[in-house]
């Protein structure tokens, strides 16, 4: 490339970057449908009442019998449930809501370590589990009186549901088919969930092929929302290039921030870097994300079929900063 052509290329890149920095930005995208299926907002409950007790607490004597894996109705679970009904202050509430034992699991001690029991209690409303509401703790069964350790709880003590019973599976599936057609639905347990401004009792389903979750209430209303698990990445994007004069720059390339660069893998919502080259991107994919020189209004195409690319590695720790042309000063790379 001749010096005069280098200068023209650098000037053009500088002008393009300046234009991008000051241009208007379209509003952010939101996921409103998948596979042509309109979606409801993902249910998000109000903040729960939380409790976290790291130091041991001594409320009463421990359960008398041996803890069993998965025990839900044995005497241990009844004693533990009674304990929390008698001591709502441990859960930071004035009255303990309805709970059930999800598991009470004894882990035998090895190599001099003591036995330990791990417990999870789940909040229920008229026998239906409340989504994301539970009590977790552990204790040493040999210590008397009992010491509750590492207690963490998230509860909703004042739940009111207009239709407190979920519909039967056959009835719910008929309503679900009207909304999602022939999508394969796997039956899940009923749940109490918060939608918008109220609690709902739902018969729930997983639409596995689409990565969706569905629920049907007793009135026949169907909710469908995105249930894919997203990986999130954020960082800053820059590139080593010629800011103005190729002859004066020589091999000491300038590091330029890259605003309005497209970050996309075709699965998550497209993201664009801001005026400082910063980005935040989420994707349901567990694969690496390849990022090229594609912007909001243009694409760099390399005629030698060696486009500059950077990679967001799957599971990379934030911040994930990306640098195009990290070393050397090959003209074909600098020109891109």
Please write the tens of the pLDDT for every residue from 156-176. 998 999 888 999 999 999 999
Position 334 scores a pLDDT of 64
Mean of pLDDT values over 257-262: 92
Read off the pLDDT band of 181 (50, 70, 90): confident
Residue 4 — very low, low, confident or very high, per pLDDT cuts 50/70/90? very low
pLDDT of res. 166? 92
pLDDT at 230 over 80: no
Q: What is the mean pLDDT of residues 7-28?
A: 35
Q: For the segment 208-217, what is each residue's pLDDT rounded down to a tens digit? A: 777 789 999 9
Just give the CATH number of 49-155.
3.10.450
Backbone angles phi, psi at 136, to 5 degrees: -125, 135
Integer Cα distance of 196 and 187 in angstroms: 24
Task: Give the pLDDT mean for 247-257.
Answer: 78
Choose the weakest-confidence range: 31-40, 136-145, 234-243, 317-326: 31-40
Average pLDDT over residues 102-108: 89
Q: How far apart are CA 236 and CA 249, in angstroms?
A: 24
Distance (Å) of CA 66 to CA 71, 149, 164: 10, 18, 36
What are the sequence ranges of the domains in the chain? 3-30+230-335, 49-155, 161-226
Give the model's pLDDT for residue 146: 82
The better pLDDT of the pair 283, 131 is held by: 131
**Which DSSP helix (H) or strand (E) runs through 174?**
helix 169-180
Where does the pLDDT of residue 18 fall: very low under 50, low under 70, confident under 90, or very high at 90 and above?
very low
The model's confidence at residue 21, banded by pLDDT at 50, 70 and 90, is very low
The span from the CA of 281 to the CA of 284, in Å, is: 11
Q: Which range among 54-58, 64-68, 267-271 has the greatest average pLDDT?
A: 267-271
For residues 49 and 243, the model is more confident at 49
Rg of the chain over all Cα atoms, to the nearest angstrom: 28
- Residue 167 C-alpha from the chain's centroid: 29
Q: What is the pLDDT of residue 245?
A: 72
Distance CA 46, CA 259 (A): 36
Take residue 160 and report the two structure tokens written for it: 């009111």
Q: Looking at residue 194, what is its pLDDT?
A: 94
* DSSP β-bridge partners for residue 225: 213
Model confidence pLDDT, tens digit, residues 66-80: 444 444 446 778 888
Mean pLDDT throughout 38-42?
86
pLDDT at 60 (0 to 100): 60
The confidence band for 13, taking pLDDT boundaries of 50, 70 and 90, is very low
pTM of the model: 0.60
């Amino acid at each position: 490339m001749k010096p005069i052509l280098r200068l023209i290329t650098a000037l053009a890149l500088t002008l393009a970057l300046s234009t991008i920095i000051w241009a208007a930005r379209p509003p952010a995208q939101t996921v409103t449908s998948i596979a042509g299926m309109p979606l409801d907002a993902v249910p998000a409950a109000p903040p729960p009442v939380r409790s976290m007790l790291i130091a041991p607490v001594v409320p009463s004597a421990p359960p008398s019998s041996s803890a069993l894996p998965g025990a839900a109705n044995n005497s241990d679970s009844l004693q533990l449930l009674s304990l929390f009904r008698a001591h709502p202050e441990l859960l930071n509430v004035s009255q303990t809501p309805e709970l059930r034992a999800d598991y009470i699991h004894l882990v035998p001690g090895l190599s001099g370590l003591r036995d330990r029991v791990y417990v999870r209690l789940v909040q229920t409303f008229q026998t239906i589990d409340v989504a994301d509401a539970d009590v977790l703790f552990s204790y040493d069964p040999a210590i008397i009186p009992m010491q509750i350790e590492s207690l963490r709880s998230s509860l909703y003590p004042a739940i009111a549901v207009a239709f407190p019973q979920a519909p039967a599976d056959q009835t719910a599936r008929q309503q679900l088919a009207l909304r999602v057609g022939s999508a394969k639905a796997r039956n899940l347990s009923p749940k109490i969930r918060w939608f918008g401004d109220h609690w709902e009792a739902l018969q729930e389903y997983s639409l596995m092929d689409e990565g969706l979750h569905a629920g049907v209430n007793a009135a026949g209303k169907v909710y469908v929302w995105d249930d894919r698990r997203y990986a999130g990445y954020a960082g800053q994007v820059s590139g080593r290039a010629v800011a103005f004069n190729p002859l004066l720059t020589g091999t000491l390339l300038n590091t330029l921030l890259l605003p309005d660069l497209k970050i996309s893998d075709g699965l998550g919502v497209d993201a664009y870097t801001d005026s400082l080259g910063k980005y935040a991107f989420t994707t349901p994919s567990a694969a690496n994300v390849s990022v090229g020189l594609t912007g909001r209004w243009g694409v760099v195409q390399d005629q030698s079929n060696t486009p500059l690319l950077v990679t967001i590695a799957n599971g990379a720790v934030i911040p994930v900063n990306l640098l195009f042309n990290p070393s050397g000063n090959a003209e074909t790379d600098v020109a891109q």
